[in-house]
Structure 1
Amino acid sequence: MAWECGIEGCNEVFADAESAVLHQSTEHERRECKVCGAIVPDGYLAIRHAFSEHSRAEYVRAYGANAEDVREREELLDEIETEADIKAIASELKR
Protein backbone atom coordinates (compact mmCIF):
# COMPACT_ATOMS: atom_id res chain seq x y z
CA MET A 1 0.00 0.00 0.00
CA ALA A 2 1.34 3.43 -0.92
CA TRP A 3 1.03 6.28 1.57
CA GLU A 4 0.54 9.86 0.41
CA CYS A 5 1.84 12.77 2.47
CA GLY A 6 -1.65 14.31 2.61
CA ILE A 7 -0.48 17.84 3.36
CA GLU A 8 -1.91 20.33 0.90
CA GLY A 9 0.39 20.98 -2.02
CA CYS A 10 2.64 17.98 -1.35
CA ASN A 11 2.51 15.10 -3.78
CA GLU A 12 5.08 12.84 -2.10
CA VAL A 13 4.21 9.14 -1.89
CA PHE A 14 5.87 6.61 0.42
CA ALA A 15 6.11 2.85 0.66
CA ASP A 16 5.10 2.79 4.33
CA ALA A 17 3.21 4.86 6.89
CA GLU A 18 6.31 5.49 9.01
CA SER A 19 8.11 7.19 6.11
CA ALA A 20 5.08 9.37 5.38
CA VAL A 21 4.77 10.50 9.01
CA LEU A 22 8.52 11.16 9.30
CA HIS A 23 8.36 13.19 6.08
CA GLN A 24 5.44 15.27 7.42
CA SER A 25 7.33 15.85 10.66
CA THR A 26 10.64 16.88 9.15
CA GLU A 27 9.93 18.36 5.72
CA HIS A 28 6.91 20.55 6.45
CA GLU A 29 6.49 23.60 8.65
CA ARG A 30 5.25 23.06 12.14
CA ARG A 31 1.80 24.41 13.00
CA GLU A 32 0.31 26.13 15.99
CA CYS A 33 -2.52 24.21 17.64
CA LYS A 34 -5.56 26.48 17.53
CA VAL A 35 -6.79 25.06 20.85
CA CYS A 36 -3.74 25.44 23.11
CA GLY A 37 -1.09 27.23 21.05
CA ALA A 38 1.43 24.35 21.12
CA ILE A 39 3.71 24.14 18.09
CA VAL A 40 3.38 20.67 16.56
CA PRO A 41 4.50 18.92 13.37
CA ASP A 42 1.95 19.10 10.57
CA GLY A 43 -0.04 16.10 9.38
CA TYR A 44 -0.63 12.97 11.44
CA LEU A 45 1.13 14.26 14.56
CA ALA A 46 -0.92 17.47 14.53
CA ILE A 47 -4.13 15.46 14.32
CA ARG A 48 -2.93 13.08 17.03
CA HIS A 49 -2.11 16.04 19.26
CA ALA A 50 -5.50 17.64 18.73
CA PHE A 51 -7.43 14.43 19.36
CA SER A 52 -5.38 13.14 22.30
CA GLU A 53 -4.85 16.44 24.13
CA HIS A 54 -8.22 18.09 23.51
CA SER A 55 -11.88 17.13 23.38
CA ARG A 56 -13.64 16.68 20.08
CA ALA A 57 -15.79 19.71 20.97
CA GLU A 58 -12.68 21.87 21.46
CA TYR A 59 -11.36 20.68 18.09
CA VAL A 60 -14.66 21.46 16.34
CA ARG A 61 -14.82 24.96 17.83
CA ALA A 62 -11.19 25.88 17.22
CA TYR A 63 -10.97 24.55 13.67
CA GLY A 64 -14.51 25.18 12.45
CA ALA A 65 -14.81 21.45 11.84
CA ASN A 66 -17.94 19.35 11.55
CA ALA A 67 -18.79 15.74 12.40
CA GLU A 68 -17.57 14.51 9.00
CA ASP A 69 -14.20 16.25 9.50
CA VAL A 70 -13.83 14.57 12.89
CA ARG A 71 -14.76 11.13 11.48
CA GLU A 72 -12.25 11.48 8.62
CA ARG A 73 -9.45 12.36 11.01
CA GLU A 74 -10.37 9.59 13.46
CA GLU A 75 -10.33 7.09 10.58
CA LEU A 76 -6.95 8.39 9.46
CA LEU A 77 -5.56 8.05 12.98
CA ASP A 78 -6.87 4.48 13.22
CA GLU A 79 -5.46 3.56 9.82
CA ILE A 80 -2.00 4.95 10.57
CA GLU A 81 -1.87 3.51 14.08
CA THR A 82 -2.88 0.09 12.73
CA GLU A 83 -0.17 0.15 10.06
CA ALA A 84 2.68 2.18 11.52
CA ASP A 85 5.22 1.40 14.20
CA ILE A 86 4.60 4.50 16.33
CA LYS A 87 7.51 3.68 18.66
CA ALA A 88 9.88 3.56 15.69
CA ILE A 89 8.62 6.94 14.50
CA ALA A 90 9.10 8.46 17.96
CA SER A 91 12.58 6.97 18.21
CA GLU A 92 13.56 8.35 14.81
CA LEU A 93 12.23 11.82 15.65
CA LYS A 94 14.27 11.93 18.88
CA ARG A 95 17.51 11.72 16.88
Structure 2
Amino acid sequence: MAWECGIDGCGEVFADVESAVVHQATEHERRECKVCGTVVPDGYLAIRHAFNEHSRAEYVRAYGADAEDVREREELLDEIESEANMETIATELKREG
Protein backbone atom coordinates (compact mmCIF):
# COMPACT_ATOMS: atom_id res chain seq x y z
CA MET A 1 0.00 0.00 0.00
CA ALA A 2 1.33 3.44 -0.90
CA TRP A 3 1.03 6.32 1.59
CA GLU A 4 0.51 9.86 0.35
CA CYS A 5 1.37 13.00 2.29
CA GLY A 6 -1.83 15.01 2.59
CA ILE A 7 -0.32 18.19 4.02
CA ASP A 8 -1.16 21.29 1.98
CA GLY A 9 -1.47 19.32 -1.26
CA CYS A 10 2.09 17.93 -0.97
CA GLY A 11 1.12 14.62 -2.58
CA GLU A 12 4.52 12.95 -2.14
CA VAL A 13 4.03 9.16 -2.06
CA PHE A 14 5.87 6.67 0.15
CA ALA A 15 6.16 2.89 0.11
CA ASP A 16 5.58 2.64 3.86
CA VAL A 17 3.71 4.59 6.50
CA GLU A 18 6.81 5.15 8.61
CA SER A 19 8.51 7.07 5.79
CA ALA A 20 5.39 9.17 5.28
CA VAL A 21 5.20 10.14 8.98
CA VAL A 22 8.94 10.96 9.11
CA HIS A 23 8.53 13.07 5.95
CA GLN A 24 5.64 15.01 7.51
CA ALA A 25 7.63 15.62 10.69
CA THR A 26 10.84 16.71 8.99
CA GLU A 27 9.87 18.29 5.67
CA HIS A 28 6.86 20.37 6.69
CA GLU A 29 6.61 23.26 9.11
CA ARG A 30 5.71 22.52 12.68
CA ARG A 31 2.33 23.75 13.90
CA GLU A 32 1.19 25.29 17.14
CA CYS A 33 -1.61 23.35 18.80
CA LYS A 34 -4.61 25.65 18.97
CA VAL A 35 -5.70 24.06 22.25
CA CYS A 36 -2.51 24.26 24.36
CA GLY A 37 0.07 26.13 22.30
CA THR A 38 2.54 23.24 22.09
CA VAL A 39 4.51 23.24 18.82
CA VAL A 40 4.25 19.84 17.14
CA PRO A 41 5.19 18.30 13.79
CA ASP A 42 2.42 18.62 11.21
CA GLY A 43 0.36 15.73 9.88
CA TYR A 44 -0.15 12.48 11.77
CA LEU A 45 1.85 13.58 14.82
CA ALA A 46 -0.20 16.79 15.14
CA ILE A 47 -3.47 14.84 14.95
CA ARG A 48 -2.14 12.29 17.44
CA HIS A 49 -1.19 15.10 19.83
CA ALA A 50 -4.59 16.77 19.56
CA PHE A 51 -6.54 13.55 20.07
CA ASN A 52 -4.34 12.02 22.79
CA GLU A 53 -3.75 15.19 24.82
CA HIS A 54 -7.10 16.92 24.48
CA SER A 55 -10.78 16.04 24.51
CA ARG A 56 -12.74 15.84 21.29
CA ALA A 57 -14.76 18.84 22.48
CA GLU A 58 -11.58 20.91 22.92
CA TYR A 59 -10.47 19.89 19.42
CA VAL A 60 -13.84 20.83 17.89
CA ARG A 61 -13.86 24.25 19.60
CA ALA A 62 -10.23 25.13 18.85
CA TYR A 63 -10.23 24.02 15.21
CA GLY A 64 -13.81 24.73 14.22
CA ALA A 65 -14.19 21.04 13.41
CA ASP A 66 -17.40 19.07 13.11
CA ALA A 67 -18.25 15.43 13.78
CA GLU A 68 -17.18 14.39 10.26
CA ASP A 69 -13.75 16.05 10.74
CA VAL A 70 -13.31 14.15 14.00
CA ARG A 71 -14.36 10.83 12.40
CA GLU A 72 -11.95 11.32 9.47
CA ARG A 73 -9.04 11.99 11.80
CA GLU A 74 -9.92 9.09 14.11
CA GLU A 75 -10.05 6.76 11.09
CA LEU A 76 -6.69 8.08 9.87
CA LEU A 77 -5.14 7.56 13.31
CA ASP A 78 -6.52 4.00 13.47
CA GLU A 79 -5.26 3.19 9.98
CA ILE A 80 -1.77 4.54 10.61
CA GLU A 81 -1.46 3.00 14.07
CA SER A 82 -2.54 -0.42 12.78
CA GLU A 83 0.24 -0.33 10.16
CA ALA A 84 3.05 1.77 11.64
CA ASN A 85 6.02 0.60 13.64
CA MET A 86 6.27 3.47 16.12
CA GLU A 87 9.80 2.44 17.17
CA THR A 88 10.98 2.83 13.59
CA ILE A 89 9.41 6.30 13.41
CA ALA A 90 10.98 7.35 16.72
CA THR A 91 14.41 6.05 15.64
CA GLU A 92 14.22 7.86 12.29
CA LEU A 93 13.11 11.11 13.92
CA LYS A 94 16.00 10.94 16.39
CA ARG A 95 18.39 10.31 13.49
CA GLU A 96 16.97 13.29 11.58
CA GLY A 97 17.61 15.37 14.68
Compute the TM-score of the two structures, normalised by the length of structure 2. 0.95
CA–CA separation in structure 1 for the residues paired with 2:54 and 2:87: 22
Give deviations 1:33-73, integer Å, cap 9, x for gaps. 00000000000000000000000000000000000000000
* Alignment of structure 1 residues 41-80 onto 2, 5 Å: 41-80=41-80
Shift of 1:87: 1.5
CA–CA separation in structure 2 for the residues paired with 1:69 and 1:55: 14
CA–CA separation in structure 1 for the residues paired with 2:11 and 2:4: 7
- Equivalenced residue count is 95
% identity of equivalent residues: 84
CA-atom RMSD, angstroms? 0.6
Shift of 1:9: 2.4
Unmatched runs of 5 consecutive residues or more in structure 1: none
Find the counterpart in structure 1 of residue 17 from structure 2: 17
CA–CA separation in structure 2 for the residues paired with 1:93 and 1:13: 18
Unmatched runs of 5 consecutive residues or more in structure 2: none
Moved over 2 A (4+): none
